[in-house]
Amino acid sequence: MQYPKGYLVSIGGAEDKGGTLEEQERRDLDFFRYGILENVRSLMQRKEPHIEVITTASSIPNEYFNEYEKAFRSLGFCEVGHALIRERPDAEDEEILERLRRCDGVLMTGGDQLRLCSTLGGTPFFDVLRERYLEEPFVIAGTSAGAAAMSSTMICGGDPVRAYFKGEVQLSMGFGFLNNVIIDTHFDKRGRFGRLAQAIAAQPGAIGIGLGEDTGIVVEEGYRFRAIGSSSVVVIDGHNVHHNNIHAVRTGAPVSVANLTVHIMTHADEYDSRHRVFSGNKFDLHED
């Protein structure tokens, strides 16, 4: 089997304080800490790398780009481009495609993952993005919506309060950079354990990744996950489930599932999704 040569950096997003999506996005602009962005930069292995910021998911694309441009410039990026793709025809723009072919990586911002996938999926822009990820040491980073869209199946909605009731979690197709994985973001702040658990009950062969804020995972070869950032990454594995009633109960009824396996990862912990094996960070182990 040939594994991707590129890297994924999936990041959990910023705090939800209520309000409209646009109001939430404005508050998310100060999310990134340099520790997270430095991981993105270091993977590019160049002294002065070039990154393109994909703001398709956002309703305030220029504001997002302006903040990320400042952050990336401060970290020594020589070129920070704005892949301003609002409609599907924009994804055929030759100038944008040429910048995508030249850059060392991209960052997909937060916003609406359905907007992101429905705009970019199946376009020339996406084809170049996927080819570079598969064939080169290319970096694809994403926060919030940009992280959720990386997997083959993505969560696109669901009320955390009712997440244990069948039908309250909406799933859709993502970009497919990660197979048999479902990513949820803002995991701790928005209390999303229940909706990720229901997503895995619906597809127990998949692995659920819940990303806390200012936290993420670096993915190498498509299956080796390393936690980064200041909070936690929750892994939910349904491979050993021996009871699951989601197929039998009516919509709106509570879901019953037994023997989910849960891991909690912190900075530098690793998880092998191919073999479903957790490895703690050996440098954090010490004796009192």
The 10s digit of each residue's pLDDT in 233-261 is 999 999 999 999 999 999 999 999 999 99
d(CA 242, CA 219): 29
Residues contacting residue 201 through CB under 8 Å, at least 6 positions apart? 238, 241, 244, 246, 255, 257
pTM of the model: 0.91
Q: Which helix (H) or strand (E) holds 15?
A: none
Residues contacting residue 192 through CB under 8 Å, at least 6 positions apart? 160, 163, 184, 185, 186, 210
Cα 287 to its chain centre, rounded Å, is 35
User: Average pLDDT for residues 89-116, to the nearest whole number?
Assistant: 97
pLDDT at residue 44 in the model: 96
Find, among 163, 186, 181, 167, the residue nearest to 110 by Cα.
186
The 10s digit of each residue's pLDDT in 175-218 is 999 999 999 999 998 899 999 999 999 999 999 999 998 899 99
Long-range contacts of 219-224 (CB under 8 A, 24+ apart): 219/7, 219/8, 219/9, 219/10, 219/178, 220/7, 221/3, 221/4, 222/3, 222/4, 222/177, 222/178, 222/179, 223/3, 223/272, 223/273, 223/274, 224/270, 224/271, 224/272, 224/273
Residue 61: burial class (beta carbons within 10 Å; 0-12, 13-18, 19+): buried
pLDDT at residue 265 in the model: 97
User: Average pLDDT for residues 96-101, to the nearest whole number?
Assistant: 98
pLDDT at residue 138 in the model: 98
The 10s digit of each residue's pLDDT in 81-94 is 999 999 999 999 99
Largest CA distance in the chain: 61
* % of the chain surpassing 90 pLDDT: 81
User: Average pLDDT for residues 22-50, to the nearest whole number?
Assistant: 76
Find, among 206, 97, 101, 193, the residue nearest to 153 by Cα.
206
- On average, the pLDDT of the chain sits at 91
CB 276: neighbour CB atoms within 10 A? 15
| Residue 15 tokens, joined | 């705090």
Q: How confident is the model at residue 35 (pLDDT cuts 50, 70, 90)?
A: confident
pLDDT at residue 126 in the model: 98
29 pLDDT exceeds 90? no
pLDDT at residue 287 in the model: 44
Domains parsed from the chain with CATH numbers: 7-277 (3.40.50.880)
CB 224: neighbour CB atoms within 10 A? 16
Amino acid at 7: Y
The sign of the CA dihedral 283, 276, 138, 232 is negative
